[in-house]
Structure 1
Amino acid sequence: MTDTTKPEHKLRIGLFWPAFILAPLIWTAVAWGITYIGPEASLGVLGLPVAALLIAPAFGGIPYVLFGGPIMWYWAARAYPTLKHMSPAAVIAVVVSVPFALAFNVIKLMIFEAGFGNAVSGSVSFIVVYTGFGVPVAALWGATVSVIYQRLDRRFPVRAAD
């Protein structure tokens, strides 16, 4: 028989969901701050990551909640949410969501009556952009979830039962 051991910790729902929700909001605020430093500031190479972070909440919000939430919850319930656990969980959520995002894109192309060649090239470019922006942003958001959860866990320790 296989030995099923219980995790050493119990995931605290009151800490996980705020961390899950705050992670993308924090990075969006950081991106907005970097963008609006001033006209004298030159973003240079930072322009692309800033643009990715700015559009990520609008374009990646639904997959983040639908796929990232359950997958990251599962990983966090099995092991204490650290950077080592949550970043890969978020990246796995992006990989799992690719077929669904592709199906959505194909339906969108069918609605707009794109030709076959345009549909294929549009779908390929969509997947490249979706994973190209999604994987690094998901890893960043997953790491941020773990940091926020750990800080909240230290700030609000579990009280002993009376």
Structure 2
Amino acid sequence: MKSYVFLLLFFICMTFKAQQIITKVDSATGGQLIINADEEILKMVSEDELCKNFRDTTIDSKPIPYNEKKTVSRPIAPENICGRRNDIPGFMIKVGEVKSEQEINTMISEFRKLFPELRVEKSFLRPDWRLLAGDYFKRESAKSDLKRLKKNYPSAILVNWRIYCNRAK
């Protein structure tokens, strides 16, 4: 009987001195860090406490403001936007839709004669074939080409599409 009472008291004491579970979410990757530790240890390890207790040993040290952030300005280039990915969400101009592959091939040849500088892509989405032109990061960059295309192809519209980074404007 004494052992049961002792075990009961032991488990009650352990619950009072139990460890806390803290979940921290990384802002950059969204990953979670779960920490199981005593409250005193978590206070010692927390970033705020470490910063308060840190003392610089050099004589000529100047305090650096905590809120100061460095900004790096890089020109917007396909390498910066795309990273390692080859295709990203963007925009293309849908020139037209036809029912057969033969019609789309004739449409492509006519389009290339009129606009040789634009890249052309044909896409089959049941039951129609689509003629798509250009690769654009933003709607604004496609507006000038869309305006030119509407003169010959009044049904041309801008659509969301997967574009290849190295060819986009």
Tell me, yes or no, whether TM beats 0.5. Answer: no
Query: TM-score range with shorter-chain normalisation?
Result: under 0.3
Structure (1 or 2) with the greater helix fraction? 1
Structure (1 or 2) with the greater strand fraction? 2
Identify which of structures 1 and 2 has the higher relative contact order when contacts are C-alpha pairs closer than 8 Å and 6+ apart: 1
Question: TM-score if structure 2 supplies the norm length?
Answer: 0.24
